Amino acid sequence: MHRAAVYARLGNADRAYQKIQLLINNLTYHNLWIDGPPFQIDASYGYTAGMSEMLIQSNTDAIKFLPAIPNEWENGSV
């Protein structure tokens, strides 16, 4: 599991967002694949896993909507 997903699952929204921003701003090509070396497909999937964990979690008997929303995402709706 990518660090962004781990932080999101732990409820540390701002740290998860920081890891996603690191991936997007520093390690991502225009086609959203992650630079290596070598090419890292697990990091590309880690981005989507982290984002998914920030928006919805179902690792217990209940489904949690928006469990790890960072301060930078001030507005939004489901």
Tokens read off for 42: 């697990």
pLDDT in tens, 40-56: 677 777 788 889 999 99
> Quick one: which H or E segment has residue 37?
none
Query: Which single residue is written with the structure tokens 């991502």?
Result: 28
pLDDT in tens, 57-77: 998 889 999 999 999 888 766
Q: Which of 61, 32, 60, 78 is nearest to 69 (CA)?
A: 78
Average pLDDT, the chain: 84
Q: What pLDDT is stored for residue 41 in this prediction?
A: 72
pLDDT in tens, 21-46: 988 888 888 887 777 666 667 777 77
Torsion of the alpha carbons at 16, 21, 22 and 25, rounded to the nearest 10: 170
